[in-house]
Amino acid sequence: MKNILLILPLLFLVSCGESFEDEYLLCKTVSVTMGGRETAYEDTKAWKYKHTPDAFIDLESTPPQEYPFIKKDEQGYRYFKKILYSKDGTENGFLQDKYHPIFGDRETTYKRGLYDVESSGYVSVGKCTKAG
């Protein structure tokens, strides 16, 4: 009986750890900022994604595009980033996704080229819901 009482606190600590299940998501864009100007956006289509511990995967692309996990901030947002390359193999920009698994908030940043110039990309803000 004493052995069981010693094991219970250990089991409790293990069960309180962060567990992660893959999520299938439907995401819609609600606004887009391009060249410093924000525009409301009514997305009629929900785009399909898969959120895993290691990646954010665009299931609408052929083949599906995977954005590797890079960090989690103190507010719970998870960041994913994919470097884009030109046909000659040189780095030509990036796509970064910022997603919150509880609130469903999603922000996608696209930067074209090697410079952080507002006119060379866009930021879209969206909302995601879990799919079935």
One digit per residue, the tens of pLDDT, for the chain of length 132 reads 555 545 545 444 444 445 678 899 999 999 998 877 888 887 788 899 999 999 999 999 899 999 999 999 999 999 999 888 888 888 888 889 999 999 999 999 988 765 554 446 888 999 999 986
Is 12 part of any domain?
no
Say how far apart CA 40 and CA 12 lie, in whole Å. 46
Is 17 part of any domain?
no
Is 117 part of any domain?
yes
Which pTM does this prediction carry?
A: 0.75
Task: Report yes or no: 78 and 54 within 8 Å, Cβ to Cβ.
Answer: no
Is 43 part of any domain?
yes
Domain residues for the domain of 111 are 22-130
- Count of structural domains, the chain: 1
pLDDT at 15: 40
87-99 residues labelled b (16+ CB within 10 A) or e (exposed): eeeeeebbbbbbb
Contacts of 89 (CB under 8 A, 6+ apart): none
3-state helix, strand, coil in the chain (%, to 5): 15, 50, 35
Is 9 part of any domain?
no
